[in-house]
Amino acid sequence: MPAATARSAGVLVYRIPPRQREPQFLLLNNGRFWDYPKGHVEAGEDDLTAALRELREETAIREIELADGFRHEITYFFRDKRRGLIRKTVVFFLARVAADAKVTISHEHVGAEFVPFAEALGRVKYPTAKETLTTAREFLDAEPR
């Protein structure tokens, strides 16, 4: 029996603090591990619409500057108690927020923090999360500033 499928979308959010050049990435703590704002793509939504909705719901962030040309997709498998094996695809977009952007976390999380790349890479748990962050950093490093 083939695996069921699920699709999610999220936004890798970064800021560049005043008088600094290095981006800081937003991580959310769900009580078990640190990750990015993301969630299920609902019926009738495209990936970007879902990603922006999840960003608003999980962080209250509304004002962003999307990085033109960044779209990173990951796929992994997990086991659900009711549905069995699930093949999940997550599409990530990259967006910059103001250096003083405020984050208001939802009931789904216990904390949020902007951290430098190396620290963020150490905090995220899964290889696909590390890959996504590394891809975003490489994209930003290739952009003229």
Q: Residue 145: is its pLDDT beyond 80? A: no
Q: What is the pLDDT of residue 3?
A: 80
pTM for this model (two decimals) = 0.93
Give 13's pLDDT tier (boundaries 50, 70, 90).
very high
CA 89 to chain centre: 13
DSSP state of 67: P
Q: Residue 2: is its pLDDT beyond 80? A: no
pLDDT above 90 coverage of the chain, percent: 92
The candidate with the shortest Cα–Cα distance to 61, out of 7, 111, 98, 109, is 98
145 or 73, which is more confident? 73
Give 143's pLDDT tier (boundaries 50, 70, 90).
confident
Q: Where are the beta strands (DSSP E) in 1-145?
A: 4-15, 24-29, 34-35, 38-40, 65-66, 72-80, 84-96, 111-116
In the chain, what are the domains?
4-142 (3.90.79.10)
- Express each pLDDT in 16-40 by its tens digit: 999 988 999 999 999 999 999 999 9
